[in-house]
Chains A and B, each alone.
Chain A
């Protein structure tokens, strides 16, 4: 288990390291191109940052740092990568959690309704699945921030600033969760034990909540875990669209500027979080399904 975790982390780190270097250019050359620096001055700056060292040496140097918990410093402003991540993690995690909450609730409601035969719920799920965040987000800003003027369109201004972005991101994520639940519910609704429950005269609400939904939840839990991983990607777009601080925007900026250590560091951290979330999903699945635990 530990070995597998280390293997995944190493793979993610290595891929990030080499993929970035496939891009043409580097952070320093572009930074200095209209500064008045001469070619020799640019070259000496690159050397100072180790950019002229052989690729493999750069790679092993970095990997040694990662193992000892040091993800390096930003090439552009010298901030330690761990500090950059620590500073941005709170707004990103609160957005991701709020979105996950929206996604689970909306996914459960829409999914059960769709599974029980509501065509409008199925339609809503399809929209959630197929509409990109950029589109729903822009639409939401236009309606709720401009037309109705209920909520701010941008920024990290407490709870009100969290509503629109988490609703947009959560709605998108609800699509996948809801579809799995809908399939489960549609399948379970005709199962023998539901027939038994109904013949016992249990109220319909209780049948849906206790019997049908519980049985349909199992596959949903692993989808929710997968979606938590997707959320980390979704925050990049959402944070940019709503001008929120966070990991996603730092990542996007760092990629555009080829600030290698920052991108690599965020990839390593994200991979670690992803692994933890999936491990947690395994535990929850065991709790929900006695058969897996046995």
Chain B
């Protein structure tokens, strides 16, 4: 009887396993690329994760691109464009002879179909629609000319149009598949075509041999160029370095700093750290909650923080210290704020004393009018923030501050906790090349104004910077915004984000685009093939 049961189990297991084993024709230069999370969806018009862009950036072209070295906008699917003097009309002249992977032609109608899809409420776009800012409608001038019309000037529009979330998909494919099914059947014009996506398992792309309309920084393929890439999901950080070392993958993103340090001595692995523009790892300080409602206390908190020690211990020296609300690799970063509030516990103590805080009951912690100085810090689990918060607690104890760490398990829980109020600091940040994201955090009515700071000057500067189209003028507005944010000590910046990519030494020419997250897969070559 038992033997029979065992036989049945063996048979079943073998049969099922046979179904899952896929036999794929091996491409000559096929690599496996490790992604760090399974995005909740892979449709760039609908979903919002950065991870989806790692493969799809090479499946879609965008109207414009950012040059990865200069950060300037260069021709993509649009060969040129003009912006009307009032900043309300963007006219794009489209390249001709561009075809989608399904053989259909790319033209102004195709751009229109994409815009229609993104702005259709039924699409429920989580990111792309908001990136369009004040865009209201389009006008097809002729087959290869389209004009986008805005209700008010919105200078980050080109930045948005250079991102994969506004990549151009084949209208034929968009109408052939429902919004739910399209993510499994994607069709773009890019250097790679979409082969398959199996949730929780893999996403495969293969080189588009007809591709000849790429931006100037896309090299022409050679016999060493990679032909096919399979992406796999490595959600658990601890498994990433093992998969790379064991040869299961050839490229892996977001290695843990300790693993990256260990891999640095491995001859077969090359570390490829990339600075990611956007916000640094930062704690937003609540200016409405005692004691962080006091500017002097906020300044003392930054001064009491030994960021260098954090970067040594937690980030293994792989990250630069952050000084500003935007990382140094972001457009319009102002070096004028660098060096402010450098670590000085003596100075921090003096500041706190000047604000009236003393240890009157000699218990090692400062108090004020009989009540202790307690700081509530909301700590999410990602980005090694718990480790940073632990060090923060230790460092601030030395100047007599008591820190209560409130860990929250998910983004949902963090948002919910912030909405309840009553916190002093909360760690949160996002990425982006154009600092227009600052408006959400530091204008009075910003959705993420978790500092609760209200300042007419800062509002005006940040709004002007989004409307202003002149780059130099934007630069000085953002310099002013950074100055105000740091002068009012609204944030405690810790480190600029660095994505620690590990690459097997057989892979060459792997570089990343201006957004830091997205590899330029077109240029990747494989040696020893």
Q: How far is the CB of A286 from chain B (nearest CB, A)?
A: 11
Chain A residue contacts of B456, Cβ below 8 A: none
Segment of B6-14, B336-344, B474-482 engaged in the interface with chain A: B6-14
**B21 is an interface residue with CB less than 8 A from chain A:** yes
**A229 is an interface residue with CB less than 8 A from chain B:** no
Segment of A52-60, A113-121, A246-254, A265-273 engaged in the interface with chain B: A246-254
Chain A residue contacts of B242, Cβ below 8 A: 141-142, 145-146, 153-154
Q: Complex Cα distance A76/B417, Å? A: 22
**B248 is an interface residue with CB less than 8 A from chain A:** yes
Q: Complex Cα distance A81/B130, Å? A: 28
By a beta-carbon cutoff of 8 Å, the part of chain A in contact with chain B is: 23-27, 29-39, 41-42, 45, 48, 73-74, 76-79, 84, 87-88, 90-91, 93-94, 97-98, 100-101, 104-105, 138, 141-142, 145-146, 149, 152-159, 162, 217, 240-243, 245-246, 249-250, 253, 256-259, 284, 287-288
B248 touches A155 (CB 8 A): yes
Q: How far is the CB of A276 from chain B (nearest CB, A)?
A: 14
**B386 is an interface residue with CB less than 8 A from chain A:** no
Segment of B232-240, B397-405, B512-520 engaged in the interface with chain A: B232-240
Chain A residue contacts of B43, Cβ below 8 A: 77
B20 touches A33 (CB 8 A): no
Q: How far is the CB of A159 from chain B (nearest CB, A)?
A: 6
Q: How far is the CB of B69 from chain A (nearest CB, A)?
A: 27
A158 touches B21 (CB 8 A): yes
Given contacts A98-B13, A153-B242, A258-B410, contact A287 B1 (CB under 8 A): yes
Q: How far is the CB of A24 from chain B (nearest CB, A)?
A: 3
The 8 closest A-B pairs by CB, nearest first: A25-B412, A77-B41, A36-B130, A24-B416, A94-B16, A245-B201, A78-B180, A76-B40
Bits for B186-204, please: 1 = Cβ < 8 Å to A, else 0. Answer: 0000000000001111000
Q: Complex Cα distance A31/B124, Å? A: 12
A152 touches B201 (CB 8 A): no
Q: By CB atoms of chain A within 10 A, which of B242, B246, B414 has the most?
A: B246
Partner of A88, one of B200, B247, B448: B200
Partner of A84, one of B46, B199, B201: B199
Chain B positions 14-44 with a Cβ under 8 Å from a chain A Cβ: 16-17, 19-21, 38, 40-43
By a beta-carbon cutoff of 8 Å, the part of chain B in contact with chain A is: 1-2, 5-6, 9-10, 12-13, 16-17, 19-21, 38, 40-43, 46-48, 124, 126-127, 130-131, 179-180, 183, 198-201, 232-236, 238-239, 242-243, 245-248, 409-417, 430, 437, 440, 447-448
Q: Complex Cα distance A152/B48, Å? A: 32
Q: Complex Cα distance A23/B417, Å? A: 11
B232 touches A33 (CB 8 A): no
Q: Complex Cα distance A259/B40, Å? A: 9
Q: Complex Cα distance A225/B124, Å? A: 44
Given contacts A34-B448, A146-B245, contact A24 B417 (CB under 8 A): yes
Q: Complex Cα distance A141/B238, Å? A: 11
B415 touches A159 (CB 8 A): no
Residue of A whose beta carbon sits closest to that of B23? A158
Residue of A whose beta carbon sits closest to that of B17? A94
B412 touches A24 (CB 8 A): yes
A36 touches B9 (CB 8 A): no
Chain B residue contacts of A45, Cβ below 8 A: 124
A243 touches B243 (CB 8 A): yes
Partner of A31, one of B13, B16, B48, B417: B48
Chain A residue contacts of B245, Cβ below 8 A: 146
Chain B residue contacts of A91, Cβ below 8 A: 20, 201
B246 touches A149 (CB 8 A): yes
With A105-B6, A146-B246, A258-B410 given, name 8 new contacts (CB 8 A): A23-B412, A34-B430, A36-B127, A37-B130, A42-B447, A94-B13, A141-B246, A159-B17
Q: List 23 A-B residue pairs with CB atoms under 8 Å apart, sorted by A's residue number.
A: A23-B410, A23-B412, A30-B410, A30-B411, A33-B411, A36-B440, A48-B124, A76-B47, A90-B19, A91-B20, A98-B13, A101-B9, A142-B242, A149-B247, A154-B234, A154-B239, A154-B246, A240-B235, A240-B236, A243-B243, A250-B199, A253-B38, A256-B409
Residue of B whose beta carbon sits closest to that of A253? B38
Residue of B whose beta carbon sits closest to that of A93? B16
Partner of A245, one of B199, B411, B437: B199
Q: Complex Cα distance A23/B409, Å? A: 10
Q: Complex Cα distance A35/B128, Å? A: 8
Partner of B239, one of A24, A101, A243, A287: A243
Q: Complex Cα distance A39/B419, Å? A: 12
Q: How far is the CB of A89 from chain B (nearest CB, A)?
A: 9
Q: Complex Cα distance A98/B16, Å? A: 10
Chain B residue contacts of A35, Cβ below 8 A: 48, 126-127, 130
Given contacts A25-B415, A30-B415, A152-B246, contact A284 B5 (CB under 8 A): yes
A24 touches B413 (CB 8 A): yes
B410 touches A256 (CB 8 A): yes
Chain B residue contacts of A101, Cβ below 8 A: 6, 9-10, 13
Partner of B200, one of A78, A241, A250: A250
Partner of A100, one of B9, B180, B200, B440: B9
A288 touches B1 (CB 8 A): yes
Q: Complex Cα distance A70/B17, Å? A: 28
Chain A residue contacts of B5, Cβ below 8 A: 284
Given contacts A76-B41, A94-B13, A217-B2, contact A34 B440 (CB under 8 A): yes
Chain B residue contacts of A258, Cβ below 8 A: 410, 412
Chain B residue contacts of A34, Cβ below 8 A: 430, 437, 440, 448
Q: Complex Cα distance A287/B4, Å? A: 12
B415 touches A33 (CB 8 A): yes
Chain B residue contacts of A104, Cβ below 8 A: 6, 9
Residue of A whose beta carbon sits closest to that of B236? A240
Q: By CB atoms of chain A within 10 A, which of B5, B17, B131, B414 has the most?
A: B17
A158 touches B17 (CB 8 A): yes
Q: Complex Cα distance A171/B342, Å? A: 54
A156 touches B6 (CB 8 A): no
B236 touches A241 (CB 8 A): yes
Q: Complex Cα distance A242/B236, Å? A: 9
Chain A residue contacts of B414, Cβ below 8 A: 25, 30
Q: Complex Cα distance A246/B286, Å? A: 42
Q: How far is the CB of A293 from chain B (nearest CB, A)?
A: 13
Q: Complex Cα distance A42/B129, Å? A: 13
